[in-house]
Structure 1
Amino acid sequence: AFPEIAALAAIKQTKKPRHKDIFEHTMKVVDAVAEAGGSLHTRIAALLHDVGKPATRRYDSKLGWTFHGHEVVGERIVKQLGLRWRLSSASTGKVAKLVRLHMRPINLSDEGVTDSAVRRLSVQAGEDIDELIILCRADVTSSDPRRVKRYLANFEKVVEHLKDVEEKDELRAFQSPVRGDVIMAETGLEPGPLVGKLKKMIEEAILEGTIPNEYDAALAYLRKIKDSVLADDTHSAENKNA
């Protein structure tokens, strides 16, 4: 009934250093999420968060066992399971998103926690950011208590930075303060991809911290960039027709 879970338990380790037992780790994460009061979607995500590991497992003579991209493969598997289990598209989407993002907070702690990085994480997770935090915290397991303590300390720094940026920017359910109708009125454009491109550029500027997440600042930025964007589009169209 659950071959994807059985595959975690079936992994054989023939080379050292050995990685943690993925099935045993998964069960610990499920228990920890339940104890933390995670939602049903988060509990399912805990069960499935590492289902991409069997397909991505590789041995590197320098690094040992690696599972690069297992979260992306896991997201695809979750979407397939959603159809098989007859989950609603909304439920499947939530679980798939949690699986896809479950490595991001820990990776951020390694890469360096910048405002723009946590803004992107907040936007990607949206209303599920709190559930993602529960899942990621539960995912920190090891037989070495010192290692757990170190990972959790780094993770909590990301969480604190995330809260600070969210409070400052109010980024939950983020989208450009300047909507498509305003962009069309300012540029004379008809509905189409160029309107979406301008809207996306405004959102990127906010995420990068170039402008604040405020209507007036976003409108001023639109007026600043619109002529060059429209000119580039016209130039591209002329080249295609030449």
Structure 2
Amino acid sequence: MDYTDQLEKKPIFQVVRQAADELGVEAYVIGGYVRDLLLKRPSKDIDFVCVGSGIELAKKVAEKLDNSHLSVFKNFGTAQVKAGDWEYEFVGARKESYRRDSRKPIVEDGTLEDDQNRRDFTINALAIGLSTDIYGKMLDPFGGQKDLKRKMIKTPLDPDITFSDDPLRMLRAIRFATQLTFDIDPDTFDGIARNAERIAIVSKERVSDELNKIILAKTPSYGFKLLFHAGLLTHVFPQMMDLHGVDVIDGKSHKDNFYHTLQVLDNTAKHSNDLWLRWAAILHDIAKPATKRFHKKAGWTFHGHEDKGARMVPKIFRQLKLPLNDKMHYVQKLVRLHLRPIALVKDNITDTAVRRLLFEAGDDIEDLMALCKADVTSKNDSKVKRYLANFKKVEEKMLEVEEKDRIRNFQPPISGEEIMSHFKIKPGRVIGEIKEEIKEAILEGQIANNKEDAWKFMLDIASQKGLSTE
């Protein structure tokens, strides 16, 4: 099939055509852009390959584009041209060979066939000619178009070679399958399973980048199930593997927390594209294996799993090279608080309990409630409706209390400086004690959250501590 009409819709292809003809080299658009063109998916970057110097082709293209920016990476033999919202990558056709202990290839100049052979999957090895004599011609040596129609992820060469050479491709296979809702060819999947241990030579940053893309997919559970069955999950995220399985004692069993977690993740994904809220869904029960206990009367319990889970979050983030910043603290907070709204689901809910939850959750209260709703995974529809109706009551109570008490993102109505100035004292422990007692009085509903009431309360407790203005 000729793709000239599709190429004519984007001026960049005519620019590359002119540049390639002037340099006397063959040029092609290759990889993800071609795949997405056939799938009618949007793209923001385009990869070009030429039989010759990709850097020289990039320079020539940059000369012809207004307001473009050229970046050259001589060590890799590649170049990038940025123009508007688009990024164009240029490389010379090459062949690669690998050492057993590294995923960094030994690169040599090669033919287009060599370049297509080194591609990870048949659907990413598609190329369309851009030079005048091959303009619009599709080159599909591995049946990538057929695999697109079959919705199949398949390696162009022996999967053992593809995955052993660059084990990151195993995660990419699962990521593409998840994003595109494709199947993985049986031989290709078996190749992942055989080479799963090779993932150890891939940097944690690259692993977490692929994991995050899986997590951001429409149905992320699909990717995690593939990771599980391929044997990759035990290498990249062992704490999640620990959730799998059901124990039975005296005929009493607990639910499989691995599959429960995946359901919570999917439920969260239906309502939010926020990566870190989805991470909170993944980690909300992560400490259940460590806190699991069996009691003759109560059966299986997981007491304290929310607190222990919150303590586990920093270690997991460090292991996966995820950011140790406000994103981590956000996930940690939601894991720690995820049972609190459930405890409020009762008719005699107190203002004090609601105030304390609003105080601790702050601006993340809506996300916390979203996580709690996602955590309702019962197959009993009436039970789910009842839980969600109760959560609605809690949310209404929160609005009522917040409007009255303004506890969310609480700031002390009296500062430490004001306390020191009034009582003419120096910084010390007593300042913190007074502020803490004022905060507790507000949260308990003993006084209103305003300066006048807080000031009167301060004078009372200060006198008990022997403080005066005299």
Instruction: Indicate whether the TM-score tops 0.5.
Output: yes
CA shift digits 1:148-191 (9 cap, x unpaired): 22222222222211121112112221021111111111222211
Alpha carbons of structure 1 residues 140 and 209: separation in structure 2 relative to 1, 3 Å: same
Is 1:42 paired with 2:277? yes
Counterpart CA distance in 1 for 2:273 and 2:443 is 28
Which residue matches 1:143? 379
Counterpart CA distance in 2 for 1:98 and 1:132 is 6
How far the C-alpha of 1:40 sits from its partner, in A, is: 1.8
For 1:152, the aligned partner's letter is: L
Which residue matches 1:229? 465
Which residue matches 1:23? 258
Is 1:154 paired with 2:154? no
Query: What are the ranges of 5 or more consecutive residues in structure 2 without an aligned counterpart?
Result: 1-235
Say which structure, 1 or 2, has more relative contact order (CA 8 Å, 6+ apart).
1
Counterpart CA distance in 1 for 2:341 and 2:360 is 12
How far the C-alpha of 1:212 sits from its partner, in A, is: 0.8
Counterpart CA distance in 2 for 1:6 and 1:46 is 15
For 1:53, the aligned partner's letter is: K
Which residue matches 1:57? 292
For 1:197, the aligned partner's letter is: E
8 Å CA contact retained: 1:82, 1:89: no
How far the C-alpha of 1:112 sits from its partner, in A, is: 3.9
For 1:143, the aligned partner's letter is: K
For 2:293, the aligned partner's letter is: R
3-state SS of the aligned residue for 1:109?
Answer: coil
Which residue matches 1:185? 421
Is 1:72 paired with 2:302? no
Which residue matches 1:240? none
3-state SS of the aligned residue for 2:341?
Answer: helix
8 Å CA contact retained: 1:72, 1:100: yes
8 Å CA contact retained: 2:245, 2:256: no
How far the C-alpha of 1:110 sits from its partner, in A, is: 4.7
Alpha carbons of structure 1 residues 151 and 170: separation in structure 2 relative to 1, 3 Å: same
1:108 paired residue among 334, 344, 364: 344
CA shift digits 1:7-58 (9 cap, x unpaired): 1114444553322221111111111111112622211000010011001111
Counterpart CA distance in 1 for 2:274 and 2:365 is 12
CA shift digits 1:96-122 (9 cap, x unpaired): 110000000101225941101010011
8 Å CA contact retained: 2:247, 2:253: no
Please report the RMSD computed on the Cα atoms of aligned residues, expressed in angstroms.
1.6
8 Å CA contact retained: 1:16, 1:64: no
For 2:308, the aligned partner's letter is: V
2:358 paired residue among 109, 119, 122: 122
Counterpart CA distance in 1 for 2:279 and 2:464 is 47
Counterpart CA distance in 2 for 1:82 and 1:162 is 32
Is 1:3 paired with 2:238? yes
Q: Which has the larger radius of gyration?
A: 2
User: What count of residue pairs does the alignment treat as equivalent?
Assistant: 231
How far the C-alpha of 1:146 sits from its partner, in A, is: 2.2
Counterpart CA distance in 2 for 1:230 and 1:214 is 24
2:328 paired residue among 92, 97, 106: 92
More strand by share: 2
CA shift digits 1:58-78 (9 cap, x unpaired): 111111111111111111111
